[in-house]
């Protein structure tokens, strides 16, 4: 199988590429992997060091929005797994144009090329944030989309474009929507790596609003395993939820991180809430469980301990990123 992975130098995409080429995803042992990545601030070749010399790996630096580059790269691939996106909610509230460009137009450019080149399957990786916020219960795959922030609105737009190409032109599309991921190689602007690395440096950590916002946390390896199951066995034109991690309020998460890092609440700053901050996300994952036999494998306690340990041991990975972003002396 010849697989094109967009955004493969980012947090989740690089986990998917490493797991594929390290033979950790049954059924993908022989896959040839091409990564197409623009290397924005969150794309990092260091995330792919362990596969850089792999004989079945190719890296192409390029923009998913550029039709010429995309056309050239897509040719000859059987499957596209599309991770490339602008992914940080706070940045989307500051400047949304890049989000619309990459997330909607970039996806559209890839879909057109996939159709033109007869790509057999297009896996569009999306998020629970497209549904907005839910006070109780969980969303199913049929719940109407109601995004609140520009990031989520742009992802919702891209999901709808992907599904429209299936319905109108018969492109074999599957869409996955996942809950919050955590694990190694996550750019240190996101809450878990930001808090852990700030604490390691004796800096303060910012907790938004009343800290009661609730999220489901899933280890990135479980997310990637589920994507591969959907890629292999999901039904064309369908959406699959991926989650089943651990639901926590931001305050509860902060408490667990402080304990895991051996410190206390004295380093926490309560800061003004994010605009339009969704209170709670929750996905019903019955469909992927019943159709594909997916279950998350990493217990949150174990995954968090391993993640904290990873950031502790990999300062050389995150310190240059924080320096470049001016995050070393900020609260975040
Ligand atoms: N992080 C989460 O918790 C989470 C949860 C659910 C879904 N997702 C989705 O998973 C995907 C990956 O998220 P992530 O957390 O790994 O993000 P990330 O920001 O770590 O990685 C994004 C990657 O895309 C690349 N990229 C950005 N714009 C590009 C462009 N125009 N052309 C080519 N490459 C481009 C970046 O260089 C980077 O390597 C996104 O689509 C996101 O919406 C993320």
How far is the C-alpha of 7 from the C-alpha of 164, rounded, in Å? Answer: 22
CA of 86 to the centre of ligand 1 (A): 6
Query: Which of 1.10.10.10, 3.40.50.1000, 3.40.50.720, 3.10.129.10 would CATH assign to domain 2-181+218-242?
Result: 3.40.50.720
Ligand 1 proximity of 65 Cβ (cutoff 6 Å): yes
Instruction: Check pocket membership of 37 for ligand 1, CB cut-off 6 A.
Output: yes
Confidence (pLDDT) at 329 = 58
Residues marked active site are found at: 128-129, 151
pLDDT value at position 245? 83
106 lines ligand 1 (CB under 6 A): yes
Query: Ligand 1 centre and the CA of 120: distance in Å?
Result: 23
β-bridge pairing 246-249 and 180-182:
unpaired
Query: What pLDDT sits at residue 139?
Result: 98
Tokens of 54: 């792999």
CA of 87 to the centre of ligand 1 (A): 5
- The response to whether residue 12 sits with its C-beta less than 6 Å from ligand 1 reads yes
Sketch the domain layout of the chain as residue ranges. Answer: 2-181+218-242
Q: Is the CB of 229 under 6 A from ligand 1?
A: no
Residue in 40, 248, 282 to alter for ligand 1 test, most ligand atoms within 8 A of Cβ: 40
- Report the C-alpha gap between 291 and 277 in whole angstroms: 33
Which of 84, 88, 156, 176 for a ligand 1 pocket mutation test, highest count of atoms within 8 Å of Cβ?
84
Provide the whole-model pTM: 0.97
The pLDDT tens digits along the chain (332 residues) read 999 999 999 999 999 999 999 999 999 999 999 999 999 999 999 999 999 999 999 999 999 999 999 999 999 999 999 999 999 999 999 999 999 999 999 999 999 999 999 999 999 999 999 999 999 999 999 999 999 999 999 999 999 999 999 999 999 999 999 999 999 999 999 999 999 999 999 999 999 999 999 999 999 999 999 999 999 999 999 999 999 889 999 999 999 999 999 999 999 999 998 888 999 999 999 999 999 999 999 999 999 999 999 999 999 999 999 999 987 654 43
Q: Using CA atoms, how far apart are residues 41 and 144, in angstroms rounded to an integer? A: 32
Structure token digits, residue 230:
């959907």
Q: What is the DSSP string of 172-205?
A: -EEEEEE-EEESTT--TTSHHHHHHHHHHTT--E
């Amino acid at each position: 199988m010849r697989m094109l992975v967009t955004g493969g130098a980012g947090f989740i995409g690089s986990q998917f590429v490493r797991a594929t080429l390290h033979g950790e995803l049954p059924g993908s042992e022989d896959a040839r992997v091409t990564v197409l990545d623009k290397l924005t601030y969150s794309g990092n070749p260091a995330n792919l060091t362990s596969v850089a010399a792999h004989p079945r790996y190719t890296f192409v630096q390029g923009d998913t929005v550029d039709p010429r580059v995309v056309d050239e790269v897509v040719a000859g691939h059987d499957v596209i797994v599309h991770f490339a996106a602008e992914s940080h909610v706070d940045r989307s509230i500051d400047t949304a144009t890049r989000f619309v460009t990459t997330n909607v137009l970039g996806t559209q450019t890839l879909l057109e090329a996939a159709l033109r080149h007869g790509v057999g399957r297009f896996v569009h990786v999306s998020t629970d944030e497209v549904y907005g916020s839910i006070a109780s219960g969980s969303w199913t795959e049929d719940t109407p989309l109601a995004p609140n922030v520009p990031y989520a609105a742009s992802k919702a737009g891209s999901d709808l474009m992907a599904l429209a190409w299936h319905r109108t032109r018969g492109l074999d599309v599957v869409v996955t929507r996942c809950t919050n991921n955590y694990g190694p190689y996550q750019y240190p602007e996101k809450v878990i790596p930001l808090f852990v690395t700030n604490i390691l440096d004796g800096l303060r950590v910012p907790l938004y609003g009343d800290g009661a916002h609730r999220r489901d946390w899933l280890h990135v390896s479980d997310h990637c395993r589920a994507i591969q199951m959907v890629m292999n066995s999901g039904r064309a034109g369908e959406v699959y939820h991926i989650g089943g991690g651990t639901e926590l309020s931001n305050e509860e998460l902060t408490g667990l991180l402080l304990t895991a890092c051996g410190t206390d609440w004295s380093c926490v700053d309560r800061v003004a809430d994010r605009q339009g901050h969704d209170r709670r996300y929750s996905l019903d994952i019955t469909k992927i469980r019943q159709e594909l036999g997916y279950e998350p494998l990493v217990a949150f306690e174990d995954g968090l301990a391993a993640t904290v340990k990873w950031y502790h041991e990999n300062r050389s990975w995150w310190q240059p990123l924080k320096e470049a972003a001016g995050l070393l002396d900020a609260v975040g």
